[in-house]
């Protein structure tokens, strides 16, 4: 799109023309989140909040509380939309460890407990500090859950038209999709979910227009295609939903399997 076309569209929509990159709700729009420079502003804020001089006047309990609150307030919008590169995750953990164990010292710190143990819940006797990588994956996974569960939403309709719906996340990667779409697809297939994200959820049948008879876990949390492979081999209803293989008659449900 050239400059003249952009001015015409801006006049029609009665809006201003902005240049990338710009910030919206504290999130940089138009940048490449795969590059570490994209995260540098957030990391600098994190370093300033968890700097050594603050640790000198705080007890261990105070440093733990500050570590938790700073992560959720500064990084929430970013980790809700973007998958953090491994280098950035490593740097965030380094800043956390330095502040928690440093006692205000600039020298090399002694780490008394493995970080994985620190991030476990208080019920297990740990400190309950947020594991930034798991926090990031959980918030990215929420987009998948919302794409699957929400029925009427403008944003969902737009993403469905662009990416083909949440079921397409299982398919092979599309070279034309955005970086965000690529991230969502990778989150779907992470080992933390099992075989894929869908294995961690269960269907509520409702009107039966969404759940597929053979290929979704709508009964006893198992796939009927795996439980009855011989019936599947002769079925003419593979890929059809529950509402397509039955009908209500006299307040009773009648199956019409072919």
| Among 75-89, 95-109, 118-132, 178-192, the range of highest mean pLDDT | 75-89
pLDDT at 228: 92
| Long-range pairs, 168-176, Cβ under 8 A, ≥24 | 169/144, 169/197, 170/196, 170/198
If you average pLDDT over every residue of the chain, what do you get?
A: 80
pLDDT greater than 80 at residue 218: yes
Tens digit of each residue's pLDDT (9 = 90 or more) over 105-125: 666 667 777 878 888 888 877
- DSSP strand pairing (27-29 vs 252-255): unpaired
pLDDT greater than 80 at residue 226: yes
Rounded mean pLDDT, 246-254:
87
Angle at the Cα of 87 from the Cα atoms of 171 and 98, rounded to 5 degrees: 140
24's tokens? 């919206």
Q: Which one is predicted more confidently, 71 or 244?
A: 244
- What is the pTM (predicted TM-score) of this model? 0.71
Q: What are phi and psi of 230, to 5 degrees?
A: -70, -40
């Amino acid at each position: 799109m050239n400059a003249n076309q952009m001015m015409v569209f801006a006049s029609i929509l009665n809006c201003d023309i902005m240049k990338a990159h710009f910030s919206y709700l504290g999130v940089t729009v138009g940048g490449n989140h795969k590059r570490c420079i994209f995260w540098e502003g957030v990391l600098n804020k994190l370093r300033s909040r968890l700097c050594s001089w603050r640790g000198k006047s705080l007890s261990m309990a105070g440093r733990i509380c500050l570590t938790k609150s700073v992560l959720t307030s500064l990084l929430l919008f970013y980790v809700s939309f973007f998958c953090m590169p491994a280098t950035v995750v490593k740097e965030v953990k380094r800043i956390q460890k330095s502040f928690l164990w440093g006692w205000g010292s600039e020298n090399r710190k002694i780490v008394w407990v493995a970080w994985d143990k620190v991030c476990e819940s208080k019920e297990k006797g740990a400190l309950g500090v947020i594991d930034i990588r798991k926090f990031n994956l959980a918030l990215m996974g929420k987009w998948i859950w919302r794409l699957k569960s929400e029925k009427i939403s403008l944003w969902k309709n737009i993403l469905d038209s662009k990416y083909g719906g949440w079921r397409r996340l299982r398919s092979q990667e599309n070279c034309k999709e955005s970086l965000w779409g690529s991230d969502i697809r990778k989150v779907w297939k992470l080992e933390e979910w099992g075989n894929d994200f869908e294995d961690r959820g269960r269907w509520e049948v409702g009107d039966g227009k969404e759940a597929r008879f053979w290929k979704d876990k709508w009964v006893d949390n198992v796939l009927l295609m795996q439980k009855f492979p011989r019936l599947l081999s002769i079925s003419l209803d593979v890929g059809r939903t529950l509402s397509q293989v039955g009908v209500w008659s006299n307040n009773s449900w009648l199956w019409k399997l072919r």
